[in-house]
Amino acid sequence: MASHEILLMAPNTDLQQKVVAEPIDPVELNAWKRGFTPQAEIWNGRLAMLGLSIGMATLLIVRMFNNAA
């Protein structure tokens, strides 16, 4: 099975339906788009992790220098 194929199974039956998802171009995926799009969700996650990392680093640095004084 290829990485872009998804098998869906109907409950309580032996029927299977094959859904093929086409791969998305990386340039399209990284595009800066507004609205509820997959690209906006990717950028939202990236910026959230950046903010979390900066906040944790700031907290760590402040506590290190506060305890030294």
In angstroms, what is the C-alpha Rg of the chain?
22
49-58 pLDDT, tens digit per residue, is: 999 999 999 9
In-domain check, residue 45? yes
In-domain check, residue 59? yes
- Least trusted range by pLDDT, from 1-5, 20-24, 59-63: 1-5
Chain centroid to Cα 61, Å, comes to: 28
Domain that holds residue 29: 25-69
| Residue of 22, 28, 29 lying closest to 4 (CA atoms) | 22
Number of domains in the chain: 1
Note if the pTM is more than 0.95.
no
Whole-number Å distance between alpha carbons of 17 and 10: 8
Handedness of CA 43, 49, 52, 58 (dihedral sign): negative
In-domain check, residue 15? no
